[in-house]
Amino acid sequence: MTIKIGIIGKTNTGKTTFFNSSTLSTDEISTYPFTTKRSSTSIGHAITLCVHKEFNVQDNPNNSKCSDGWRYIPIELIDLPGLIKDAWKGKGLVLHVVDASASIDSSGRITEAGSGDPVSDFADIEEELNMWYQKILEGNREKLEKIIKSENEQIVALSELYQGLGVKKSHILETLRITGLEGKKIENYDLHDSKKFSTQLRKISKPSLIVANKIDVPGADKNFIRLRERYNLSDKKGRILPDLVLLKDGATVVDLAKEVHTDLVKGLLYAKDLRYKLRVPKNYQLRDRDVICLITTSKK
């Protein structure tokens, strides 16, 4: 099954230019807002070294193509209309974004690295989508409260509520576990709870890729560094690579959490290996120079 990635961003950030370059399409490009009025779909490719040389064979590709030792894996890209402030309230062409988002597996957030404040732009886009998810929950709260009689019914009802966006039951279960809302009835959710649930569900069901567009513009390198530091290697206080911990041979993710703060262990879920972009379990044995992010429900 081909992976589908939606290209989302503010107006006039080069989304269609990126889309055309990635797919060799010829969609209209201009400087006025909402040049893209409807979603457009085409095929791009992820490229990786083909393994046929390792096995000393001549490959016969079926679902992709091989050229000069490189394998081209098809990815469906969807160019979406630009988002504006308060899009979640129905402003702009958000309905086209909503319709297309139902089928995407992930989204590339286009930011202009060469101008403005891409860190703020990315945060604004994320917030619009989070508020959209929360609006769906709050707009159906009364209906949900009437039909839900048990915890299992609540999980099913939430799955059905968001199924139009491609949300699965597993997404709901993981969201409830991470947010610590397992067992809490929707009728007892306050706005903080519904925002926390909606934000986490959006992150799980529609993970983001940051696309730093116009990277060749003078000054873009500094903005790119800011993006990387803010969204990859910082803690909640914005400190970059805050803790370096020496541990005994054989130490695990749990041991690391204990060293950083004892309270982290209580809500520890798993960890992320930031160098290889892998999710690792709590019993994972750490190696020298691992760069690890602890995922926990603790507020510490």
3-state SS of the chain is: CCEEEEEEEECCCCHHHHHHHHHCCCCCCCCCCCCCCCCEEEEEEEEEECCCCCCCCCCCCCCCEEECCEEEEEEEEEECCCECCCHHHCCCCHHHHHHHHCCCCEEEEEEECCCCCHHHHHHHHHHHHHHHHHHHHHHCHHHHHHHCCCHHHHHHHHHHHHHHHCCCHHHHHHHHHHHCCCCCCHHHCCHHHHHHHHHHHHHHHCCEEEEEECCCCCCHHHHHHHHHHHHCCECCCCCECCCCCCCCCCCEHHHHHHHHCHHHHHCEEEEEECCCCEEECCCCECCCCCCEEEEECCCC
Average pLDDT on 241-255 reads 87
Residue 135: pLDDT band (50, 70, 90) is very high
> Per-residue pLDDT tens for 147-157?
887 778 899 99
Q: What is the pLDDT of residue 92?
A: 57
Q: What is the pLDDT of residue 251?
A: 92
Residues 107, 140 within the same domain: no
Residues 15, 94 within the same domain: yes
Asked if residue 122 is part of any domain, the answer here is no
215 phi/psi in degrees, rounded to 5: -70, -15
Residue 72: pLDDT band (50, 70, 90) is very high
Residues 168, 260 within the same domain: no
Asked if residue 57 is part of any domain, the answer here is yes
Q: Is the pLDDT of residue 88 over 80?
A: no
Asked if residue 81 is part of any domain, the answer here is yes
* Domain boundaries, position 160: 131-204
Residues 77, 214 within the same domain: yes
Residues 101, 90 within the same domain: yes
Residue 267: pLDDT band (50, 70, 90) is confident
> From the CA atom positions of the chain, what is the Rg in Å?
21
Give the chain's domain count. 3
Residues 257, 111 within the same domain: no
Asked if residue 192 is part of any domain, the answer here is yes
Residues 162, 282 within the same domain: no
Q: What is the pLDDT of residue 206?
A: 85
Residues 77, 223 within the same domain: yes
Residue 28: pLDDT band (50, 70, 90) is confident
Residue 34: pLDDT band (50, 70, 90) is low
> Which tokens hold the place of 75?
């990815």
pTM above 0.75, yes or no: no
> Per-residue pLDDT tens for 180-236?
898 899 989 999 999 999 998 988 888 888 888 888 888 888 888 788 777 766 666
Half-sphere exposure of 191 (CA within 13 A, CB side): 2
- CA angle (37 as vertex; 213, 162 as ends), nearest 5: 85
Q: What is the pLDDT of residue 10?
A: 80
Residues 198, 274 within the same domain: no
Give the mean pLDDT of the chain: 83
Q: What is the pLDDT of residue 90?
A: 67
